[in-house]
Chain A
Amino acid sequence: MLNLIIVIAVVLVLAILVTVFRVITLVNVAKGEGSKSVPPTNRINAILLILFLIAGLFGFFYFSFGGLQDDFVLPLASEHGAVTDRLFWITMGITCFVFIVTQIFLFGFAYKYQHKEGNKADFYPHNNKLEVIWTAIPAVVLAILIVSGWKAWSDITGKAPDNAEVIEVMGYQFSWSVRYPGADKNLGDSDFQKMDVTNTMGIDFTDQASFDDFIPTQLVLPKGRPVLLKIRAKDVIHSVFQPHFRMQMNAVPGMPTRFWFVPTKTTEEMREETGNPDFNYELVCNKICGYGHFGMKYSILVLEADEYDQWYADQQAWLKLNDDYLSEVPDNLKEAARIAAGIDNVISVDKADKALVSN
C-alpha cells in the first residue's frame, strides 16, 4: 500500500513539474522568445563560465597544496624512484602551466567574446605563423620530456648489477610466494607441472641449485643493495606493484619478467619518517585477477644489509622443512641435497627410503 502511495506521489510530482515546465515554455513563446536568435540564457551562461574558471582554479590550488585531509604523495624508498619522482614533478610543472593558461584562455575568451548586439566576429580563418609556433613549441617541450624519460627508462630497465640479490616472486590467486636462492645464491629451476599442494612454487629438485632454496613468509629486502626480482605467475596475470619503491612489473604465466631496484630506507626508518609505528611496506596486486584481487597483499620487510645477511643465514631450506621431496631428487644427488639443505642424515635417510617405497 505504502509503495503504491509513493508511486502515485512520484507520478503526481512529475506531472506538476511537467505542467510548470509547459506553462513557462508557453509564456516564453507568447513573449516571442523563439524568434530571437540569441539564447535567453546567453549572458548568465557567460558569467557562469567565468565563475566556474575562478572556482575551479581556486579548488585546484587549494586541494593540491594541502587542502586535502590526506597526503597524496607517498614517501619514497628506492633509488630509481628519486629519478622518476623528479621527472614526475617536472612534467607536473609543465602540464599545470599549460593547463592553467589554456583553461584561462578558453573560459576567458568565452566570457569576453559573448554575443553582443551589433558586434561582428572577426573573419580570421588562419595564421600560418601562429600555427607553426604552437606546433613547434609543444614539439620541443615533448622532445625534452622524451629524452629525459627515455634516459630514466633505460637505466631502470637495464641489466641488474652482478651483485644484485636475486629473489623470485610468484603471484597466484590470491597471494604471493617468494623464494630465495639460499647459500649458493643460485635459484633452482621450477616447473609448473611439478606444482602440488605443498610444493606450491613447483620447485624442480632435479636441479642442484634448488636444494638450498628457501621460501619465507614475507619478502625481506636489504637496504642499499640492488635487488633483482624474478617474477612469474601461477594461474592468471598479476602485477607486482610496490608504490613506495615506485616499482611495478606484471607477473605473467608462461613468461617470466624481472625488475631490479635499490631500497633506500628500512622499515624501521620508514616508521620514524612517517611517524607511524605500524608502518609496513606492502606488495600490491595491480592487475585484475579475480574476486580476491583487492586483498592480494604480501608484506615486505626492509632490513639493514647486515641484519639482512643474518636473517638470510638463519633461514632453513625448503627441502629441509619438507624432506619428503628428497624422493624427487635423483639418486646420485641425494647426498648433495642433504648437505645443501642441511638435513640431518639419519632421520632423513629413513624418511626418504619410506618415500621411495611409497612411490
Chain B
Amino acid sequence: MSVADIQIEKDLHHDGHDDHHEQSFISKYIFSTDHKTIAKQFLITGIFWALIGGGLSVIFRLQLGFPDMELYWLKPLLGKWITAEGKIDSEFYLALVTMHGTIMVFFVLTAGLSGTFANFLIPLQIGARDMASGFMNMLSYWFFFVSGLIMFISFFLETGPASGGWTVYPPLSALPQAIQGSGAGMTMWLVSMVFFIASTLLGGINYITTIINMRTEGMSFTRLPLTVWALFLTAILGLLSFPVLVAAALLLVFDRSFGTSFYLSDIYIGGEALPHMGGSPILYQHLFWFLGHPEVYIVILPALGITSEIISTNSRKPIFGYRAMIGSMLAIGFLSFIVWAHHMFVTGLNPFLGSIFMFLTLIIAVPSAVKAFNYITTLWRGNIKFTTAMLFSIGLVSFFISGGLTGIFLGNSALDINLHDTYFVVAHFHLVMGSAAFFGMLAGVYHWFPKMFGRMMDERLGSIHFWLTFVGVYLVFFPLHYIGIAGFPRRYYSFTSFDAFQTFTDLNSFVSIAAALTFFAQFIFLFNFFYSIFAGRKASLNPWKSNTLEWTTPRLPGHGNWPGAIPKVFRWAYVYSKPGAKDDFIPQTVPLSETPESNLPNEVEEAKAEASKK
C-alpha cells in the first residue's frame, strides 16, 4: 500500500520536528503554506469582496427602487458616475450589475466558499497534516489576491470597469465603441479572470490530490464526511470546466486586440462597417456556459456538503441516505456538464438541440429533489439544536427548494421563451445558488469558527443575524417572481420608457428597502466575527459534539494539525444517537471493539477482527 507508506513516512518526518520551529510573521501569516492560515486568508478576502459586491447591489437597487431620488450624496464615493441631475449614470449602472455578478459568483461564492472550506476542512476531516502541496496552495491564494487586485483597480479607470454583464457576451464586450466599459475595464476583467482561473486550478488540483492520496488509515471513501465529498466533486468540476473559460477569454482577447474574428461578424457600428467576417457570438456563449453551468454547481455543492454535516450534527441523527447523497452529487456533477445550452434557448440555437437540453436539464431536478427530501428526513425525529449554523442550514434548504422549483419553469424551453432574461430568472438564481450558497458559507463560518479561531461566536447575535438575513432575503427575492412573470427585463436601468412596465413601482421600492436592510444586517455578523476572534468565549475541544476528525485536534491546531500521530478512523462520520451507545455521538476515532454495547449485528465481526489485530 503505497498510500499508507507515504503517510507513515510523513508521520515520522513530522514527529521529528513536530513542534515549533519559529516562523517569521511573513511566513506565518502572509506567505503561509499552512492550509488553515490559507483558509482564513480566503475567508477574510471573501468577506471583503462580499461587502463590495453587496454594497454595489444596494446602490443599483436604490436606482431601481427610487428612480426619482437625488443621489448627490453618493458623489464622494462615485464621483463623475453621478450625473449632473443627481442620477447614477446609466452605463455605470450596467457596470454595477456586471461587477456585482462577477464578484459574487467568482470571488465570494467560488473562492470565498470553496477556497475557505476546502482548505480548512479537507486536511482536518480526512486526517492529513496539510495539503499535498502547501506551496501550490499558497500560490492559489496569491493568484486569487492578484486577480482581485486587478479587478479592484478597474473600478478606478476613466472608462469604468467592465459593463457588459457578468457573462461578458461579445460583441458588446469586444467593442469599446458599443460601451465604455469594454475598453480598459474589460481588458482588466479578462486579465483578472485568467489569474482567478489559475488560482482555482492550483487549488483544485491540490484538493483532489489530497483527498485521493492523503486520507488517514481507515478513512475510506464510504466513511468520508459529505463536506469532503462535496468539495472533492466541486474541485473536479472546476478542473474540467474552468480551462474552457480560459479558452473563451483568450479568443475574446484575440478578437479585441489582434483583429481576429472568432466571435465577430457583420458589424456596423460608429458609422463604419468593421472588417470582421465569419465569427459567431454564439460560439462564445457555448464556451462560456460550458464553464458557466458547472460553475453554478461549483458554487452550490460545497454549501450542500457543509449543510449535510451541520444538519446531521445538530439533529443528532445520521444524515439520511448517505449513499443517495453521494449518488445525487455525482449525478448533479455529471449532468452539470451537459445542460449548458439551457441558458441559450432563445439565442437562435437549433430547436432540436433546445429539446435535448431541455430534457437533460429537467433530469437534473431529480437528484436535487432527492437531496432536499433527504435533508428534511434527517430532521424527522431528530433532537434538534438550533445553533446559528443549524439555522442557516435550514434556511439554505428552504432557499434551495424555493429557487430550485422555479428552475423547472426555466429549464422548459417552451416556457423559457417568455421568461428568459426577466426578473423571474433573477429571482430563481439568487435563491437557488446565490442565497443558498451564501447561507452555506455563513453556516460553515458559524460552525467551524471554534476550530478556526479557538473561540465561540455569540449565539444570540448569530440568531439575530440569521433572522434578519433570512427574512430579508425572502423579502428581496420572492417579490421578484411576480415582477418577472409580468415580463420585466433584467439589467434595466429604469422601467419608465415602456407602458407595459409602469406597474410595481411600490413593490420595487419595497424590494430595495429590504435589500438595504439585509445588507446592513451583515454588519452584525462582521461585529460578531471580528469581536469573537479576539474576545469570544474560549471554545471547548468539541463544542458541537461532532464525530469528524477536526474535533480531535487541539483547540488551536498547530502546524501539522495533530501533535502526535494522525488518528485512525474506524467508522462512518455520522454515527449519532446510535441505539445502545452511552452518548448521542461516537467519534470516527472510536474503534468498534470499544463499543460492544452499540454495535450492529454486521459490525460484531468487524469489531472482533479489529480487536485481534491489536
Contacts and interface: CB of A to CB of B under 8 A. Distances in A.
A102 B320 contact: no
B365 A138 contact: yes
Nearest to A196: B271
A2 interface: no
B447 interface: no
Interface in B378-404: 379-388, 391, 394, 397-398, 401-402
Contacts of B422: 286
B213 interface: no
Given A91-B408, A255-B348, A294-B494, A138 B507 contact: no
B420 interface: yes
Given A122-B381, A249-B348, A70 B318 contact: no
B75 interface: no
Interface in B276-333: 278-282, 315-324
Contact of A145 (B412, B420, B483): B412
B266 interface: yes
B304 to A, nearest CB: 15
A154 B281 contact: no
Contact of A289 (B172, B267, B317, B321): B172
Contacts of B391: 45
Interface stretch (B5-13, B548-556, B572-580): B572-580
Interface string B493-519: 111011110011011000000000000
B287 to A, nearest CB: 15
Interface string A231-255: 1001111010101101111101111
A235 B381 CA distance: 61
Interface in A194-235: 195, 197, 202, 231, 234-235
B449 interface: no
B87 to A, nearest CB: 12
B613 to A, nearest CB: 26
A39 B384 CA distance: 11
Contacts of A279: 499
B355 interface: yes
A178 to B, nearest CB: 17
A18 B481 CA distance: 39
Interface string A41-64: 110111011001000100010011
Interface in B457-482: 458-461, 463, 467, 470-471, 474, 478-479, 482
B601 to A, nearest CB: 14
Interface stretch (B124-132, B142-150, B367-375): B367-375
A126 B324 CA distance: 9
Contacts of A311: none
Given A41-B463, A130-B377, A142-B366, A70 B281 contact: no
A290 interface: yes
A45 B386 contact: yes
B486 interface: yes
A34 B460 CA distance: 12
Central interface residue in A40, A195, A236, by most chain B CB within 10 Å = A236
Interface string B552-592: 00000000000000000000001011110000100000000
Given A106-B397, A120-B383, A134-B369, A56 B267 contact: no
A252 B87 CA distance: 31
A356 interface: no
Nearest to A195: B268
B366 A253 contact: no
Contacts of A131: 321, 324, 370, 374
A186 interface: no
A103 interface: yes
A60 B579 CA distance: 42
A145 B408 contact: yes
Contacts of A342: none
Interface stretch (B24-32, B187-195, B356-364): B356-364
B362 A142 contact: yes
A40 B459 contact: yes
A121 interface: yes
A202 B266 CA distance: 11
B408 A95 contact: yes
Contact of A153 (B178, B358, B471, B493): B358
Q: How large is the interface on A (under 10, 10 to 19, 20 to 34, 35 or more residues)?
A: 35 or more
Interface residues of B, number: 126
B45 interface: no
Contact of B282 (A102, A130, A173, A255): A255
Interface stretch (A108-116, A314-322, A329-337, A345-353): A108-116
A156 B414 contact: yes
B576 to A, nearest CB: 6
B365 A142 contact: yes
A202 B387 CA distance: 66
A106 B470 CA distance: 15
A336 to B, nearest CB: 27
Central interface residue in A18, A158, A195, A243, by most chain B CB within 10 Å = A243
A73 B485 contact: yes
Contact of B94 (A22, A106, A288): A288
Given A282-B499, A297-B498, A237 B280 contact: no
A293 B406 contact: no
B120 to A, nearest CB: 23
Contact of B370 (A135, A157, A197): A135
Contacts of B179: 290-291
A280 interface: yes
Contacts, number: 366
A253 to B, nearest CB: 5
Interface stretch (B103-111, B163-171, B245-253): B163-171
A87 B265 contact: no
Central interface residue in B315, B379, B478, by most chain A CB within 10 Å = B379
Nearest to B388: A39
Contact of A150 (B355, B471, B482, B527): B355
B354 interface: yes
Contact of A286 (B355, B369, B421): B421
Nearest to B458: A25
B175 interface: yes
Nearest to B351: A157
Interface in A114-165: 114-116, 119-127, 130-131, 134-135, 138-139, 142, 145-146, 149-150, 152-154, 156-158
Contacts of A236: 171-172, 175, 178, 267, 269
Contacts of B471: 52
Contacts of B362: 142, 145-146, 149
A306 interface: no
Contacts of B426: none
Nearest to B386: A45
B347 interface: yes
A293 B178 CA distance: 11
A106 B398 contact: yes
Given A41-B460, A131-B324, A294-B492, A123 B579 contact: yes
A69 B483 CA distance: 12
A294 B386 contact: no
B474 A56 contact: yes
Contacts of A44: 463
A120 B492 contact: no
B531 interface: yes
Nearest to A56: B474
Contacts of A60: 478
Nearest to B484: A72
A126 B378 CA distance: 9
A125 B317 CA distance: 8
18 contacts: A37-B385, A87-B415, A105-B376, A114-B386, A115-B386, A120-B316, A122-B380, A122-B381, A126-B321, A134-B369, A134-B370, A149-B414, A153-B413, A236-B171, A237-B169, A237-B172, A247-B418, A294-B494
**Closest 7 pairs between A and B when the two form their complex, measured CB to CB:** A254-B265, A243-B487, A257-B348, A157-B351, A70-B503, A152-B414, A291-B91
Given A70-B503, A103-B401, 8 more contacts: A18-B531, A41-B463, A110-B379, A131-B321, A234-B268, A254-B265, A254-B267, A293-B492
